[in-house]
Amino acid sequence: MSAAATDDLPRSRAPAPPSPRVGFVIGGVQKAGTSALASYLAAHPRIRLPRDKEAHVFDAPDFDEQADATAVDARYAGRFEPHAPGCIYGDATPIYALRPRFVERIKAYNPAMRWIIVLRHPVARAISNYHMERDWGRERWPLWLALLLEPLRMAGRYDDFSPESPLRHFSYRYRGDYAAQLDALYRHFARSQVLVLRNQELAADPAGVYRRVCAFLGLDPPVRMPAFAPVFVGNYPAIPPGSRRWRLLCWWMRRELRAQRERYGIDWEGAP
């Protein structure tokens, strides 16, 4: 058969992914175990996550507020393995729950989006966040000074989404304001679309949490469960819960802790 004749034959094409492509996000919070959860979910044969875990699509500084789902999906192009029918796609970028604008962008993209939020005691989260920034060489101040300087660093910068913004690097206390984050989420998404977990649950019973997440996503757990190995375990001097320094930090974050308890029943009593 000639080359010209073969050009007339129908070509098989891989099925196009649906639009919107992404159906769930691990949207919060930083330093709470999202990397571990993402690694467990990525082992599921019907789940696809970006190659680099965090796609940072909706928090991009150049995000087009007028972009439709097709345009947003174009930003995801190349971040996933080739489309496989029957798979669901997710994005594990924990900053998405931090700012209402990100939540609004996601609502415009996919009103049916499912959210997975992993929480950690705000004090423990802030300390871990601080040490991460120290390890990366971005934080030069001692812990207490960095915490005290946060309002000055953040002033007027809450909608600065540039790579070096203090929102991304020095928002130690702000990222622990879970009540405000859940307020914004529930303004735009039904509670049935949001699964809230705690990092202690993930650490103590990863298989149980994994099954809950699969059920939330409408999937059966795989026959072969993933290896639930720790991911990115911090190696820094801990502040023991109950110590004077810990109590001072809890007092410093008393407003956030009270709001979480009163509005959402999130009580961190006894949590590390």
In whole angstroms, give the CA distance from residue 24 to residue 38: 12
> Residue 11: pLDDT above 50?
no
Predicted confidence at residue 3, as pLDDT, reads 44
Please determine, for residue 94, whether its predicted confidence score (pLDDT) is greater than 90.
Answer: yes
- The predicted structure's pLDDT at residue 78: 87
d(CA 42, CA 53): 9
* N-terminal to C-terminal alpha carbon distance within the chain: 72
Q: Are strands 88-91 and 47-48 parallel, antiparallel or unpaired?
A: parallel
Give me the pLDDT at residue 232, please.
63
User: Which pLDDT score, from 0 to 100, does residue 15 have?
Assistant: 61
What global pTM score does this model have? 0.91
Q: What pLDDT, on a 0 to 100 scale, did the predictor assign at position 164?
A: 96
| Model pLDDT for residues 64-79, shown as the tens digit of each residue | 999 999 999 999 988 9
Q: Of 44-53, 120-129, 226-235, 262-271, where does mean pLDDT reach its minimum?
A: 226-235
Mean pLDDT confidence for 228-257: 88
Q: What pLDDT is stored for residue 85 in this prediction?
A: 84
Q: What is the pLDDT of residues 137-154, one digit of tens each?
A: 999 999 999 999 999 999
Q: What is the pLDDT of residues 222-240, one digit of tens each?
A: 988 888 877 766 678 889 9
Instruction: Tokens 């970006």: give the residue.
Output: 50
Q: What is the pLDDT of residue 1?
A: 45
Mean pLDDT value across residues 36-56? 94
The whole-number pLDDT of residue 16 equals: 65
Separation between Cα atoms, residue 196 and residue 173, nearest integer Å = 20
Q: How confident is the model at residue 264 (pLDDT cuts 50, 70, 90)?
A: very high
C-alpha 6/C-alpha 11 separation (Å) is 10
Residue in 88, 97, 26, 31 with CA at minimum distance from that of residue 55? 26
**Confidence band for 19, pLDDT divided at 50, 70 and 90:** confident
